[in-house]
Amino acid sequence: MLDQFSYTIFDLQEIDEVENLFSDPHLLGFNVTIPYKEKIIDYLDELSDEAREIGAVNCVLIHEGKKTGYNTDAFGFEKTLKIHRKSHQHSALILGSGGAAKAIQYILNKNGISTQIVSRNSDLNFKNLDKETVENSKIIVQCTPVGTFPNTDDCLDFPFEGLSENHLVIDLIYNPNYSKFIMKSAENNAKTVNGYYMFEQQAEKAWEIWNNKKK
């Protein structure tokens, strides 16, 4: 019965505090958010094939004492991509290099889409990213937390003038519904999608993981 379960926030200041969660005999699992999607791996017994290949975990199952990591971000993003991608969109820019970005890169590559990472410390970064590179990359995925509530006025430094009606821009942020990045992309005629559907679908997949193992 659904009323036998609860879902609550565990606000950890440091990743090693997760050991306290594991000592709770009633805990069936939990989701993992920024900045712990990669750090959590060292505390787990096993990874799903996808989580191992991606190198990031956002869902943990605890079953019969074994702690297994999954990546349901990948599932949610793939469903989003398949709804909105057009046939001419074969290359992508991934903005960010954290755990979410790794899941996005995994799915894009799985679907035959070439990718380039843009981050502060990568060869292609926010200082040297130019209009031409954006013009030639018809999918843009914004994976950083820049612009998330309550800092809704923040926006990445990005050459929006390189966008057109041939571009798909996906911002993983879903609060607010329309980030500054989404709004500036729409002003340059790009097709824009926020992260709500991905968030919803990854949660459905997490529930499936937790519930199936309890049967």
CATH of the domain at 103: 3.40.50.720
Does residue 95 share a domain with residue 63? no
pLDDT digits over 155-210, tens only? 999 999 999 999 999 999 999 999 999 999 999 999 999 999 999 999 999 999 99
Per-residue pLDDT at 73: 96
Does residue 113 share a domain with residue 85? yes
Task: Quote the Cα angle for 5-8-14, to 5°.
Answer: 135
Question: Of the candidates 169, 159, 194, 157, which has an alpha carbon nearest to the alpha carbon of residue 179?
Answer: 194
Does residue 112 share a domain with residue 136? yes
Does residue 61 share a domain with residue 34? yes
Per-residue pLDDT at 5: 83
CATH of the domain at 210: 3.40.50.10860
| pLDDT for residue 2 is more than 80 | no
pLDDT digits over 68-111, tens only? 999 999 999 999 999 999 999 999 999 999 999 999 999 999 99
- In the chain, the percentage of residues whose pLDDT exceeds 70 is 97
Does residue 108 share a domain with residue 8? no
| pLDDT for residue 137 is more than 60 | yes
37 is catalytic: yes
| pLDDT for residue 214 is more than 90 | no
Does residue 158 share a domain with residue 87? yes
Does residue 86 share a domain with residue 24? no
Q: Does residue 29 sit in helix, strand or coil?
A: strand
Q: Which residues pair with 116 in a beta bridge?
A: 93
Does residue 207 share a domain with residue 150? no
Q: What is the DSSP letter of 99?
A: H
Does residue 118 share a domain with residue 67? no
Q: Distance between CA atoms of 175 and 115, rounded to whole angstroms?
A: 26
pLDDT band at residue 212 under the 50/70/90 scheme: confident
Does residue 146 share a domain with residue 108? yes
Structure tokens at 96: 């960010």
Does residue 188 share a domain with residue 100? yes
Q: Which domain holds residue 60?
A: 2-72+199-214
Q: Distance between CA atoms of 101 and 120, rounded to whole angstroms?
A: 13
Domain count, the chain: 2
What CA–CA distances, in Å, run from 77 to 4, 89, 144, 163? 30, 16, 15, 21
Task: Spell out the alpha helix ranges (H) of the chain.
Answer: 18-22, 49-54, 72-84, 99-110, 131-135, 180-187, 196-214
| pLDDT for residue 213 is more than 70 | no
Question: Among 37, 67, 184, 205, which one carries the catalytic annotation?
Answer: 37
The predicted model scores a pTM of 0.91
Q: Is the Cβ–Cβ distance between 91 and 114 less than 8 Å? A: yes
Per-residue pLDDT at 4: 77
Counting Cβ atoms within 10 Å, is residue 160 exposed (0-12), middle (13-18) or buried (19+)? buried
Does residue 114 share a domain with residue 65? no
pLDDT band at residue 215 under the 50/70/90 scheme: very low
Parallel, antiparallel, or unpaired for β 66-70 and 91-95? unpaired
